[in-house]
Amino acid sequence: MMNELTMLQRVVVWVLPVIFAITVHEVAHGWVAKKRGDKTAWMLGRLTLNPIKHIDPIGTILVPGLLLITGTGFIFGWAKPVPVNMRNLKNPIPDMALVAAAGPLSNLMMAVAWALFGRMGGILNIDAAIQPMMYMSFAGITINLVLALINLLPIPPLDGSRILTALLPKRWAWYYSRVEQYGFFILLFLLMSGVLSSILGSPLYALQKLFFSLAGLQ
């Protein structure tokens, strides 16, 4: 769908969906943490949709930009992690799993919102608005589904690893957590080798088909 756009047009279409997908993802972590007893993110002013508070120059700008320009496949990124102090949580281990799950769940909710945004473009039937809204709906759905799926992978420190840690016996969880220092390199290898596309390709395609249908995208 994006092939007919120039590179500049593609950047314009993707910039807002990417920034909001990453920002809301982090805010969701902080919001649930606050509900479960940890106000660290709130006290640091991180429970805001102001992207400036969350932007990581590499993860929010450089990496998504390079992936978009080079057409590597999956477009993803990250923001500055919202700080969470487990000791402040009411039930640290299960609550940390809830905090982690909030990120991918927020991305799924945003994918729904972008689908409805695209559907609205079709209902309004205003020539000047239809195509921009459809393109942005496509980008919003895609980036949020990708972020949800990638973050559910059980690779520390991704959200999926936090959820899995809560399910493992304490000793196993401790050994598992030690993989975190290599997590970024593992994810980078999976991306560059094409393994990530193989793992996530089918579920992403199925979810895109569902959400694009909701948006009225052909």
Residue 1 belongs to a domain: no
Domain containing residue 39: 7-215
Read off the pLDDT of residues 44-85 as tens digits, 9 standing for 90 and up. Answer: 999 999 988 898 888 788 878 777 777 655 677 788 889 999
Residue 2 belongs to a domain: no
Name the region of 37 (left: φ>0; alpha: ψ -120 to 50; beta: rest).
left
Residue 211 belongs to a domain: yes
Q: Which percentage of the chain shows pLDDT scores above 90?
A: 60
The question of whether 26 is a catalytic residue gets the answer yes
**Annotated active-site residue in 26, 38, 95, 159:** 26
Rounded-to-integer distance, Cα 98 and Cα 151, Å: 14
Q: Are 119 and 214 in contact (CB under 8 A)?
A: yes
pLDDT of 42 reads: 94
Read off the pLDDT of residues 112-149 as tens digits, 9 standing for 90 and up. Answer: 999 999 998 877 776 667 888 899 999 999 999 999 99
At 218, the pLDDT band (50, 70, 90 cuts) reads: low
Residue 117 belongs to a domain: yes
**Dihedral over alpha carbons 159, 156, 42, 114 (to 10 degrees):** -40
Distances (CA, A) of 124 to 117, 128, 129, 217: 11, 10, 8, 15
Residue 188 belongs to a domain: yes
Nearest Cα neighbor of 63 from 18, 108, 6, 105 is 18
If you average pLDDT over every residue of the chain, what do you get?
A: 89
pTM: 0.90
pLDDT of 72 reads: 59
pLDDT of 37 reads: 96
Rounded-to-integer distance, Cα 148 and Cα 158, Å: 10
Residue 51 belongs to a domain: yes
| Overall number of domains in the chain | 1
